[in-house]
Amino acid sequence: MRLDGMAITLLGIPHDCNSSFLAGAAKAPEEVRVALVSDSANMFCESGHDLADPELFRSVGDVPLAHMEGQVAYDAIHKAVGEHLTGGGQVIGIGGDHSVTYPAAMAHTEHLGRLSILHFDAHPDLYDNFEGNPFSHASPFARLMESGRIDRLVQIGIRTLNDHQREQAARYGVEQHEMRDLSGIGQIAFSGPVYVSVDLDALDPAYAPGVSHHEPGGMSVRRIIDCIHQIGGKVIGGDIVEYNPVRDINGMTARVAAKLVKELAGRMIDDNRS
């Protein structure tokens, strides 16, 4: 099955200037691309689509972000994602820290209108202003929710809530499925377009050691894949963020990120067919 000549675009977003603990996520996109085409596996996703077909899926390299910070970097990410969305294209971004989700998702809203976000993470990333930086990787979903362009934000795997972020979740009507009780995630369904954002520290560090913030007690790779496959709604784009190659072991986390790219792309292809 083809997407009317329009492939899903894999776009690297090598930006970690808003990381609050350990830098290194800017090195992630190339490592994920290498893992994706490694001879240790093939390019088929579980739903049977061959992502080696350039009419289904293409990797276009990185947004050029060297020496960019702040608004300049934000504008460059926003513009690059928007260019690939023009004419009905679709984008999966590879970060980078989680701050890249703000400009990437905002570009989607400008091309597609209001949308919902399905967010996997150990952290809700709802700080109004983290350590003096309102565009921190701990704040993208506060910025998105205050934009008024997001219908729903559903977060899965959360296990670090503090008082401020609980207040922020209540303020914005965020639907949170904390790690201590994921019993309701099988019933999640969206009525409109859905952007999926996966912070790799949603996973237990046993599955993804290559992240800056190790938070034990997380999800399995299989659980996240099952959510991507089964969630109700039409997935139109997304990102995989916070892979830090500096902390990885034998490329484990790069392989996990590549697997999630494949399954997210497969879900997007299926949703375009339906």
Check pLDDT > 50 for residue 48: yes
Segment 39-51 shows an average pLDDT of 95
Sequence-separated (6 or more) residues with CB below 8 Å from residue 10: 33, 36, 57, 58, 59, 60, 92, 94, 261, 265
Segment 11-27 shows an average pLDDT of 89
Reported as a single tens digit per residue, the pLDDT across 75-92 is: 999 999 999 999 889 999
Check pLDDT > 70 for residue 6: no
165 in a domain, yes or no? yes
pTM: 0.95
1 in a domain, yes or no? no
Domain at 265, CATH number: 3.40.800.10
Check pLDDT > 70 for residue 3: no
The helix (H) or strand (E) run that includes residue 261 is helix 252-273
Segment 5-28 shows an average pLDDT of 88
Sorting pLDDT into bands at 50, 70 and 90, what band is 67? confident
Sorting pLDDT into bands at 50, 70 and 90, what band is 267? very high
Q: Is pLDDT larger for residue 71 or for residue 189?
A: 189
69 in a domain, yes or no? yes
3 in a domain, yes or no? no
Number of domains in the chain: 1
Check pLDDT > 50 for residue 2: no
127 in a domain, yes or no? yes
Instruction: Determine the Cα–Cα distance for residues 235 and 179; give it in Å rounded to an integer.
Output: 23
Q: Which of 83, 113, 82, 88 is nearest to 3 (CA)?
A: 88
243 in a domain, yes or no? yes
Check pLDDT > 90 for residue 214: yes
Instruction: Determine the Cα–Cα distance for residues 159 and 44; give it in Å rounded to an integer.
Output: 33
Q: What are the distances in angstroms from CA 218 to CA 43, 194, 242, 248, 273?
A: 27, 23, 15, 17, 33
Q: Residue 5: what pLDDT?
A: 47
Q: Are 80 and 63 in contact (CB under 8 A)?
A: yes
Q: Residue 61: what pLDDT?
A: 95
Cα-atom radius of gyration of the chain, to the nearest Å?
A: 17
37 in a domain, yes or no? yes
Q: Are 128 and 134 in contact (CB under 8 A)?
A: yes
Check pLDDT > 80 for residue 235: yes
Segment 200-209 shows an average pLDDT of 98
Burial readout 116-133 (b: 16 or more C-beta within 10 A, e: otherwise)? bbbbbbbbbbbbeebeeb
Reported as a single tens digit per residue, the pLDDT across 144-187 is: 999 999 999 999 999 999 999 999 999 999 999 999 999 999 99
Q: Is pLDDT larger for residue 18 or for residue 111?
A: 111
2 in a domain, yes or no? no
Q: Which domain holds residue 151?
A: 8-273
Residue 251's Cβ-side half-sphere holds a number of Cα atoms within 13 Å equal to 13
Check pLDDT > 60 for residue 71: yes
Q: Residue 110: what pLDDT?
A: 95
Q: Are 261 and 43 in contact (CB under 8 A)?
A: no
